[in-house]
Chains A and B, each alone.
Chain A
Amino acid sequence: MGDAAVPAMVVEEEEQEHVFRSRFPPVAVPDGVTVPEFVLDGAEAYADRVALVEAAAGGRSYTYGEVARDTARFARALRSVGVRKGHVVVVALPNLAVYPVVSLGIMSAGAVFSGVNPRALAAEIKKQVEDSEAKLVVANEVAFDKVKDAGVPVIGVGDRERMPGAISWDGLLAAADRTGAGVVPVDAAQQSDLCALPYSSGTTGVSKGVMLSHRNLVSNLCSSMFAVAPETAGQVVTLGLMPFFHIYGITGICCATLRHKGTVVVMDRFDLRTFLRALVDHRVMFAPLVPPVMLAMVKSPVADEFDLSDLALKSVMTAAAPLAPDLLAAFQRKFPGVQVEEAYGLTEHSCITLTHAAGDGHGHVAKKSSVGFILPNLEVKFVDPDTGRSLPANTPGELCVRSQSVMQGYYKRKEETERTVDGKGWLHTGDVGYIDGDGDVFIVDRIKELIKYKGFQVAPAELEAVLLSHPSVEDAAVFGVPDEEAGEVPVACVVRRHGAEEGEEEIVAYVAERVASYKRVRVLHIVDAIPKSVSGKILRRQLRDEFIKRMKPSA
């Protein structure tokens, strides 16, 4: 196996399963190395090169030498305050240059890194601290007030005066530098140990801790970086705008870039001027983004203040949220040299699962509307949700994936784990999709968000795509609400483009002309904005709950 002659899809005879694998040969995953060892391997040779730099004026930066040194110092400091193998440390920091040092330090100490949105509500952060049984929290001024009463000690990164009661980061590292040899024997982290406990975004159901091992992340990095050309080591500049508390931010952006000895340009909150300035000044080559940022790049007059003719930008990537076709077209008109990639990933699968990015010379670019092709080392199948049988190509079913990146389970939730990862190691994603004859994967929708109209399945994403093709529609979200007669009916929330005059009826009619009658939008609301998660996913469940709440009194 593994030579170029392997067809894009392989039908396995065993149990008549339709299992699909990557068109690319498998890649080796090194044994015995932890995530920090894997990521910082070879850092000495790049000791003076910038690894992380904050985009904001006067921002902090770290060289590879400093990243390696402070990762080791923080790991020692964590041990010195009693953090041991398997202990969880919650990190409530915004995107800062120090962020990867914090997470790699936690992993180096054998502990478990659990990122949380520093702008989440205090109660949400506290819930994660409690559910994960965290021993420590790392925070800065943004989140300090929210974590100070969470019941565990807080290490404060930043201005000590503004975080009374926090253990100072600088002070702790300096104190740990002075400690002597350990009386407590060091229990070194193994590759099979847990290293991360991200909480899966609460778009569906309660937020759950996803247990990931060093092996999970290392194998995911090996798969997703399969096409990275060795000769570009030390040259790639990546934009670190996606939140680092999210698995994609810390693994897909930070760990991947540091592994390849490139530079991460760190940005906390999106601001178009800072963003464009970073693209120009830092010569950013690869920028993972969300669609609204691309929209701003295309539409905002602020963009005209910058000379964007000489950008180093080679590609942008969006994940989690579908890209409207007219936005894609407008973006490509304005930035013709920039490749637009989409990716698909799950926290439960350590990060990226499918991708468009095959790098130069690999010769395969997945179709625009697909979420990419299968990465090396992964097995994928599509399962009929009713019968549980795997389906052949071009037949939609629940996407299931099996690889060494599949999580160890949900923390303290055995039942949910068993429902998600079956006895044979298949992770059931809850997403409905199919693979075509070329090996490109298309996602149709979330199973749980499929609308059942009189027994027919209606995919919200399909209707959203139709709505977004209307010239007056800026953004749209579709969800199902209970209906006595039909079971459920599709409801749409639409953001109108500035100056557009079409009313609800016209837009409803526009959709009706383009879809089967059972898929018609039954109710349409004009709204100011569509609520989205930090990774850009439409919060359909939230919209649905709000809609139902509003309808109740009048019903």
Chain B
Amino acid sequence: MADLGFGDARSGNGSRSQCSRGKAMLLALGKGLPEQVLPQEKVVETYLQDTICDDPATRAKLERLCKTTTVRTRYTVMSKELLDEHPELRTEGTPTLTPRLDICNAAVLELGATAARAALGEWGRPAADITHLVYISSSELRLPGGDLFLATRLGLHPNTVRTSLLFLGCSGGAAALRTAKDIAENNPGSRVLVVAAETTVLGFRPPSPDRPYDLVGAALFGDGASAAIIGAGPIAAEESPFLELQFSTQEFLPGTDKVIDGKITEEGINFKLGRDLPEKIENRIEGFCRTLMDRVGIKEFNDVFWAVHPGGPAILNRLEVCLELQPEKLKISRKALMNYGNVSSNTVFYVLEYLRDELKKGMIREEWGLILAFGPGITFEGMLVRGIN
């Protein structure tokens, strides 16, 4: 369907309650979090103790990082019991891919199923009405993949059409939304279950002076899963859409493939984030956002609401300064970072959950909004969305 007939965005208030025909809509959200809570105040002690490190310089650096990330709470699959069971994970230089995958594969399935059940519960229709599954993770590797186990676990119909998006990193959640939108809009009556599940166990390792980035990971990344249900009209009586997915796009920045680098080795995944990442994003963000806003003729960045994957505080700060955003524009993105950390592909769904709450409370004045996420490539994922009252 072409996106015609909206006219000027700011005059569209009268039509806000109407759903644009044929556009995919966000119908429900759910999340699944592991049992371990990691309050930021406990990170230094727990991490250094778990990895048996008593280097004062490392401690000081981690203490500083814990404050600068602005994260307050994260959830982790890693626990004392797991480390006791797998002491090799805290030792440098041992091949640990097998035990890591065993833990990750089981954990993402568990978390993903919890999130999916929560979303199905909120949605209100039976699981058998799900026609498509989009599964997204950068934390598992197996054959068959987690999508199959998830479909089985949830009791989805064997005809459910599955799509897996693996190792897209932080932009994966937005990519899954885009994929689900396309599926929903091209398959009348379809209902797409999106499940994103991540754990940092694949990359957990003891601190080393050679890899200062590990400490950033220890202070920033968390585990968890989310689920969303997406469908286009007709909308059933028990369904309550809150966001219309208007237009999506993707773009990669040529020559930046080393800026976000995840190398998979016998010791699990090894992440490196270039120091120039926030700058690279900043250089292109304005043009990218204009591409989205141009669809409805909006010129002013403060005239839309924002749901940005909070990769870290630096990215949000750059965005705010560069686009001259009012501070409350990124409030829900910062809140998700504060309460969950960077949970890779999931994080954007946690932001969307806060967005839904604000929409329901009538706290969002703007009709149109942007969903943004940045992943390896560097890849930008963006979506123009519309709030539904």
Enumerate chain A interface residues (CB-CB to B < 8 A): 77, 79-82, 84, 151-154, 165-168, 171-172, 175-176, 178-184
Do the beta carbons of B36 and A80 come within 8 Å of each other? yes
Contact B73–A175 (Cβ < 8 Å): yes
B41 touches A167 (CB 8 A): yes
Residue of B nearest to A178 (CB): B33
Contact B42 A182, beta carbon cutoff 8 Å = no
CB distance from B235 to the nearest CB of A (A): 29
Contacts of A179 in B (CB 8 A): 33-37, 75
In angstroms, how far is the closest chain A Cβ from the Cβ of B354? 13
Which of A79, A172, A180 has the largest count of B CB atoms less than 10 A from its CB? A180
Contact B31 A178 (CB under 8 A): yes
B32 interface residue (CB < 8 Å to A):
yes
**Beta-carbon contact of B73 and A184 below 8 Å:** no
List the B side residues contacting A165 at CB < 8 Å. 41
Given A82-B46, A82-B79, do A172 and B39 touch, yes or no (CB 8 Å)?
yes
For residue B114, CB closer than 8 A to chain A, the reply is yes
B10 within 8 A of partner (CB)? no
Given the interface pairs A167-B41, A167-B42, the reply to whether A181 lies near B35 with Cβ below 8 Å is yes
Closest-CB distance, A163 to chain B (whole angstroms): 10
Contacts of B37 in A (CB 8 A): 77, 80-81, 172, 175-176, 179
Bound Cα distance from A510 to B82, whole angstroms: 72
* B81, CB-defined interface residue at 8 Å: yes
Known contacts A77-B37, A172-B39; is-contact A183 B77 (Cβ 8 Å): yes
Contact between A184 and B79, CB atoms less than 8 A apart: yes
Of A152, A175, A184, the residue contacting B81 (CB under 8 A) is A184
Whether the pair B34, A180 counts as a contact (CB closer than 8 A) is: yes
Contact between B39 and A153, CB atoms less than 8 A apart: yes
B80 close to A (CB within 8 Å): yes
Q: Which residues of B contact A183 (CB under 8 A)?
A: 34-35, 77, 79, 82, 106-107, 110
Q: Can you identify 15 A-B contacts, CB atoms within 8 angstroms?
A: A79-B35, A80-B35, A80-B36, A82-B46, A153-B39, A165-B41, A168-B39, A175-B73, A176-B37, A178-B33, A179-B36, A179-B75, A180-B110, A182-B35, A183-B77
- Interface pair A153/B42, CB less than 8 Å apart: yes
Give A153 to B40 CA distance when docked, in angstroms.
10
Asked if B45 is an interface residue, CB under 8 A from chain A, the answer is yes
Q: Shortest CB–CB separation between residue B47 and chain A, in angstroms?
A: 12
Q: Verify if B72 is at the interface (C-beta below 8 Å from A).
A: yes
The contact string, 1 if C-beta is below 8 Å from chain A, for chain B 245-275, is 0000000000000000000000000000000
Closest Cβ of chain B: how far from A110's Cβ, in Å?
Answer: 14
User: Once bound together, how far apart are the Cα atoms of A179 and B74, in whole Å?
Assistant: 10
Which 5 pairs between the two chains have the least Cβ-Cβ distance? A80-B37, A167-B39, A182-B35, A153-B42, A175-B73
In the complex, whether B136 has a CB less than 8 A from a CB of chain A is: no
- Using an 8 Å CB-CB cutoff, how does the interface string of B134-163 with A read, 1 for contact, 0 for none? 000000000000000000000000000000
Contacting A at CB under 8 A, from B68-86, are: 72-73, 75, 77, 79-82
Q: Write the nearest CB–CB distance from B198 to chain A, whole angstroms.
A: 14
Q: Quick check: B41 and A154 within 8 Å, CB to CB?
A: yes
Q: A166 to B45, alpha carbons, bound, how many Å?
A: 13
Min CB distance B193 to A, Å, is: 18
Give complex CA distance A152, B82 in Å.
21
- Among B37, B46, B73, chain A packs the most CB atoms within 10 A around the CB of B37
Minimum CB–CB distance for B82 against chain A, Å? 8
Query: Given contacts A171-B73, A175-B39, A178-B75, could you give 11 more A-B pairs where the C-beta distance is less than 8 Å?
Result: A80-B35, A80-B36, A81-B37, A153-B42, A167-B42, A172-B73, A179-B34, A179-B75, A180-B111, A183-B77, A183-B79
B38, A81: Cβ atoms closer than 8 Å: yes
Quote the shortest CB–CB distance from B362 to chain A (angstroms). 24
B339 interface contact, C-beta 8 A: yes
A407 to B39, CA, bound (A): 35
Q: Shortest beta-carbon distance, B231 to chain A, in Å? A: 26
- Chain B nearest Cβ from A539, distance in angstroms: 36
- Quick one: CB contact mask for B78-104 with A, threshold 8 Å, 1 for yes? 011110000000000000000000000
Distance A479 CA – B38 CA, assembled complex (angstroms) = 53
Q: How far is the CB of A13 from chain B (nearest CB, A)?
A: 53
Question: Who on chain B is nearest to A80 by CB?
Answer: B37
Quick one: closest A residue to B36, CB to CB? Answer: A80
Chain B residues with CB under 8 Å of A79's CB are: 35
Contact partners of B38 in chain A: CB under 8 A = 81
Residues of A within 8 A of B45 (CB): 151-153
Q: Is the CB of B114 within 8 A of A82?
A: no
* Assembled-state Cα–Cα distance A77/B35 (Å): 9
Given the complex, which residues of A lie within 8 Å of B35, measured CB to CB? Answer: 79-80, 179-184
For the complex formed, measure the closest distance between the CB of A137 and the CB atoms of chain B, giving whole angstroms: 12
Q: For residue B46, which residues in chain A have a CB less than 8 angstroms away from its CB?
A: 82
Cα separation A77 to B72 with both chains bound (whole Å): 15
Q: Which residues of chain A are within 8 angstroms of B82 by Cβ–Cβ distance? A: 183-184
A20 to chain B, nearest CB (A): 48
**Residue ID in chain B nearest A82 by CB atoms:** B80
Per-position 1/0 for B46-66, Cβ under 8 A of A: 100000000000000000000
Q: Which of B35, B72, B80 has the most CB of A within 10 A?
A: B35
Tell whether A166 pairs with B41 under 8 Å between CB atoms, given A179-B75, A181-B114, A183-B107: yes
For the complex formed, measure the closest distance between the CB of A101 and the CB atoms of chain B, giving whole angstroms: 18
Q: Return chain B residues, CB-CB under 8 Å to A153.
A: 39, 41-42, 45
CB distance from B202 to the nearest CB of A (A): 16
Q: Which residue of B lies closest to A151 (CB)?
A: B45
How long is the Cα–Cα vector from A154 to B45 in the complex, in angstroms?
A: 11
Which B residue's beta carbon lies closest to that of A173? B37
- Distance between B66 CB and nearest chain A CB, rounded to angstroms: 10
Find chain B residues with CB under 8 A from A82 CB: 36, 46, 79-80
B42 A175 Cβ-Cβ under 8 A: no
Docked complex Cα distance between A311 and B36 (Å)? 50
Which of the residues B32, B73, B80, B339 comes within 8 Å of A180, measured between beta carbons? B32
Residues of chain A contacted by B110 (CB below 8 angstroms): 180-181, 183
B105 to chain A, nearest CB (A): 13
Task: Using CB atoms, name the residue of chain B closest to A154.
Answer: B41
Interface centre among A79, A84, A152, A183 (most CB of B within 10 A): A183
Contact B42 A81 (CB under 8 A): yes
Residues of A within 8 A of B36 (CB): 80-82, 179, 184
Report the minimum CB–CB distance from B86 to chain A (whole Å).
13
- With both chains docked as a complex, state the minimum distance between the C-beta of B4 and any C-beta of chain A, in angstroms: 42
Chain A, Cβ-Cβ closest to B41 = A167
Cα A181 to Cα B339 in complex, Å, equals 19
- Indicate whether A84 sits within 8 Å of B39 (C-beta atoms), given known contacts A152-B45, A180-B33, A183-B107: no
Nearest-Cβ distance from residue B334 to partner chain A, whole angstroms: 15
| Beta-carbon contact of B72 and A171 below 8 Å | yes
Min CB gap A235→B, angstroms: 40
**Residue from B33, B39, B72 whose CB has the most chain A CB atoms within 10 Å:** B39
**Chain B residues in 8 Å Cβ range of A80:** 35-37
Residue of B nearest to A79 (CB): B35
CB distance from A46 to the nearest CB of B (A): 31
CB distance from B74 to the nearest CB of A (A): 9
Closest B residue, CB atoms, query A153:
B42
A interface footprint on B331-370 (CB within 8 Å = 1, 0 otherwise): 0000000010000000000000000000000000000000
Q: Are the CB atoms of A175 and B339 closer together than 8 Å?
A: yes
Alpha-carbon distance A84/B39, docked complex (angstroms):
17
Closest Cβ of chain B: how far from A361's Cβ, in Å? 50
- Are A180 and B42 closer than 8 Å at their CB atoms? no
Rounded to whole angstroms, the CA-CA distance of A166 and B73 in the bound complex is: 12
Interchain CA distance A175-B82 in the complex, whole Å: 21
CB neighbours (8 Å) of B41 from chain A are 153-154, 165-167
In the bound complex, CA of A80 to CA of B36 (Å):
4
**Central interface residue in B73, B75, B114, by most chain A CB within 10 Å:** B73
Bound: A80/B78 CA distance, A: 11
Residues of B within 8 A of A152 (CB): 45
Give chain A residues whose Cβ lies under 8 Å from the Cβ of B81: 184
Taken together as a complex, chains A and B put the C-alpha atoms of A165 and B339 apart, in Å, by: 16
